[in-house]
Amino acid sequence: MLIRKYEMPWRRAYEAYAALAWFISLVFFVTISVRAELPSQFTGPLAIACMWMTIRRMHQALRILVVRASLSGRAMQVLTTKELKTLCRQPDQVFLGFGFEWLPVHSQRLYELSKVNFRDYSVSPVLLHCLGYEANPQPDSEIGLPYIHGVESREHALYRPLQNFEGGTLLVGTTQSGKGVALANLVTQAVRRGDVVVVIDPKNSRRLKRAVMRACADYRDADTFLEFHPAFPENGVRLDFTFNWQKPTEIASRIQSVMPPDTAGAFSAFGWDAVNVVVQGLVDLEERPNLMKLTKYIEGGIEPVLEASLRRFFNGVYGSTWRDQPEMRKLLGDAQRGNLKRPSEAASNDLLAFVAFYEHHVPQNQHNKVVDSQVRTFRHNREHYQKITANLLPILSMLTSGDLGLSLSPDPFDAVDVRPIMNFEKIERGGHVLYMCLDSLPDPSVASAIGALSLADLAARAGMRYNLGGYRRISLFVDEVSNVINQPLIEILNKGAEGGIFTTCAMQTLADLAKRLGSEDAARMALGNLNNLIALRSKDRPTQDFIVETFGKTAIHTVRVGLSEASDAHLGDFTSVSSAQLSESMEELIPADILGKLPNLQYFASVSGGRIIKGRFPILNPDFDRPT
């Protein structure tokens, strides 16, 4: 029974010789039957048996030859947007290119190929054409080994249900292996489905951007496409990442997620508190907080906010005549004469008097928590305050410098700046497609901060959608995820499906993610939230190990042939022993080294809860069939 499971197609098609012998026998029996040399009752059954064996052996020989002919692989394929539209007729299905489901028989063939030179067993693809197979062999000039895709002679369009991608998808591959092409295919389908699409591209891929623009032109309204680029702010939109919130503390949490982690967490916690104090004060004053205001009051001091808050508080408690109270008049006079301690140079004489009156003459049961926190910050040693906010201020400075500050802290009352002001709620309600370029090559620190802040805002929006219910599906695509990943993105991967966010993350190596998150264990923990894996060519060994672990193992059969001869003292006496042993062992379903030999655009994938497929993405050329 085990021998029937073993297959060795990488050999000569010996069945063809047997078919030829049976065909000669068929001709022989037909000939003697025609000549009446033997009765037809005898030659007829023999001729039929020979014909059946000829057909059977020829079928076996052709099967071997067809498998060998497919070793030439498949060349890259270019599709127009119209052709992709015909392949994506069902919106509840995701098109994953062309390929086949990977079965144990394909693993067996792949392991056997590792023992031989595949070129010795290649057959002209003309044979495939003659037998009705589509043949488009991979040119020798292309990267990668063709036989990996050639272990199966037939391929078809690959589809998986859209609901299988709710749990997130990881796209991993080395530089120039085809991640951008894969993303272009997936983004185009998301645009065509009518999803709200957010693409975060740290390096500004022109091909991917052009594909997104073409998809919007083909399937959406003219104003659907939105662009954000830090280096060219005049061509895009303004984004307000502090607009949407249910609780003021959410803004402080977003800023904290952008801050670099510290070992003890004390600096990060104090940074959160510093931001929260300002935010609570601005909200209490009915002012909308933004990044530039936060930077101004954290770097320059809380004094203007505190003074305005105290004026508002005194008006509410004592009425409009609060300045005429004797205690207040006395304190104002002391402040003018310099009798009150001045914590900072930015504090005005009025503020010194207001704070002293609040601390010593306002009953404790009438104190306001928002004002209390501002007074605490005001009294804090200024030098120490600057030291413990050292991690916070550089981040805020990055996000508010130059034109970027006007783009991320938009002023709705600025009549000169006519760029649209957008936030994720408006993007969702309008069904827009946002393409965010982070410009990471010339300015990686700012790019990382912008990306992390946008993900923090989107995570907050996901929480609002989850709490309120009723939402429109959002397709989030994050290229070079190691540049921007933070805790909010992990929360999106973990819980975003409940809020209708379908996330696709692309990365190069596991080491990049481990460096960003601090350890390989943290990287693996984050990637554990992604249910689907699409693996293109990968050269990094730890990344390869992570991929093959996901694919699992299968039984591989190995034949061992032995031949031994021996002779004794008597002339002519000898023994000969021939043996064949078939053994089975559990090996990786896809060998790790094969991942480093994949041609461009070709991939192995684990989707839909462990279904393994071998596929290739077509190149989507957005410049074909340009609409008039």
Which tens digit of pLDDT belongs to each residue from 98-112?
999 999 999 998 988
- Tell me: do 98 and 64 sit in the same domain: no
What does the pLDDT read at residue 4?
A: 47
- Tell me: do 15 and 99 sit in the same domain: no
Residue 593 has pLDDT above 80, yes or no: yes
Number of domains in the chain: 3
Q: Would you say 256 and 452 are in contact if contact means Cβ atoms under 8 Å apart?
A: no
In DSSP notation, 493-551 reads HHHGGGGTEEEEEEES-HHHHHHHHSSHHHHHHHHTT--EEEE-----HHHHHHHHHHH
CATH of the domain at 525: 3.40.50.300
Structure tokens at 107: 């693993």
What does the pLDDT read at residue 436?
A: 93
Strands of 47-89, DSSP E: 78-79
Distances (CA, A) of 593 to 8, 144, 287, 517, 545: 21, 12, 59, 27, 10
- Tell me: do 260 and 311 sit in the same domain: yes
462 within a domain of the structure (yes/no): yes
- Tell me: do 446 and 329 sit in the same domain: no
532 within a domain of the structure (yes/no): yes
Which tens digit of pLDDT belongs to each residue from 387-435?
878 888 888 888 888 888 889 999 888 888 889 999 998 999 899 999 9
Residue 440 has pLDDT above 90, yes or no: no
- Tell me: do 456 and 308 sit in the same domain: no
- Tell me: do 370 and 456 sit in the same domain: no
- Tell me: do 175 and 211 sit in the same domain: yes
578 within a domain of the structure (yes/no): no
147 within a domain of the structure (yes/no): no
Share of the chain above pLDDT 90, in %: 39
81 within a domain of the structure (yes/no): no
253 within a domain of the structure (yes/no): yes
Q: In what order do the strands lie in the sheet with 225-228?
A: 156-161, 93-101, 611-616, 602-607, 532-535, 169-172, 501-507, 474-478, 196-201, 433-437, 225-228
37 within a domain of the structure (yes/no): yes
Q: What is the mean pLDDT of residues 542-563?
A: 87
Share of the chain above pLDDT 70, in %: 96
The lowest-confidence range among 47-56, 132-141, 156-165, 615-624 is 132-141
What does the pLDDT read at residue 568?
A: 63
- Tell me: do 604 and 544 sit in the same domain: yes
- Tell me: do 522 and 389 sit in the same domain: no
Per the structure, the complete domain to which residue 254 belongs is given by 249-400
295 within a domain of the structure (yes/no): yes
Q: What is the pTM of this model?
A: 0.86
Which tens digit of pLDDT belongs to each residue from 324-366?
888 888 988 888 888 888 887 778 889 999 999 999 999 999 9
Which tens digit of pLDDT belongs to each residue from 63-87?
888 888 888 888 899 998 888 888 9
